Structure 1
Amino acid sequence: MTQAKGRNPLRSVLDGGQARKRSRFAIVGEVYSELTKVTWPSREDATRLSILVIGVSAAIGLILAAWDLGFSELVERLFL
C-alpha cells in the first residue's frame, strides 16, 4: 500500500469527502451544540440510579468478601 507521508487514508471518509479545517473554538461550539441535544435524566432518575449502582456494588463486594473468606479458610485447613 502506498500513500503520501503523513496523510490519513480515512480522512476523506471521515470528512464526507471534504477536508475541513476548523478552529478549536469551532469544535467547542460543535460540542456545545451536541450537548444541547442530549436528553438528560431528571434529578429523581439520577438519584434512583445512583442508589441502585451503590447497592449492586455493595452486594457484589459482600459476595466477593464471602468467597475470599471461604477460600482463605479452605486453604488454611488444607495446606497449613
Structure 2
Amino acid sequence: MSKTNAKPPANKPAAAARPGFFGNIIAELKKVTWPTRDEIRKLTVMVLVVAFSVGLVLGVLDYGLSYLVDNFLLK
C-alpha cells in the first residue's frame, strides 16, 4: 500500500527566525493592555468589599444555622 494522497510535512521556520520560548513570552507581554493605577485601586477595593461581604453573609448564615441546630434539633 502506498500513500499517494499523503501531504508533505509543513515547512518549519528556520531556527534563527524564532526568538525562542522566552522571546515569545516577552513578545506576548508587550501586547498586553495593562491596567492603570486607578483601575488597579478600584478593582482591589471591589475585591476586598466582595470578599468581606461574602464572608459576612456566610458567617451570619453559619451562626444562624448553628443556633437552629443547637436549640431545636439537639434539644
Q: TM-score range by the shorter chain?
A: 0.7 to 0.9
2:27 is equivalent to residue 33 of structure 1 = yes
> Structure 1 residues 18, 59: CA separation in 2 closer, same or farther (over 3 Å shift)?
farther
Q: In structure 2, what is the Cα distance between the partners aligned to 1:75 and 1:19? A: 68
Number of aligned residues: 63
**Percentage of matched positions with identical amino acids:** 34
2:29 is equivalent to residue 58 of structure 1 = no
Higher relative contact order (CA 8 A, sep 6+): 1
Q: Unaligned stretches of 5+ in structure 1?
A: 1-11
- Runs of 4 or more, structure 1, over 4 Å off, are 17-20
Is the radius of gyration larger for structure 1 or structure 2?
2
TM-score, scaled relative to structure 1? 0.69
TM-score, scaled relative to structure 2? 0.73
Amino acid corresponding to residue 78 of structure 1 in structure 2: F
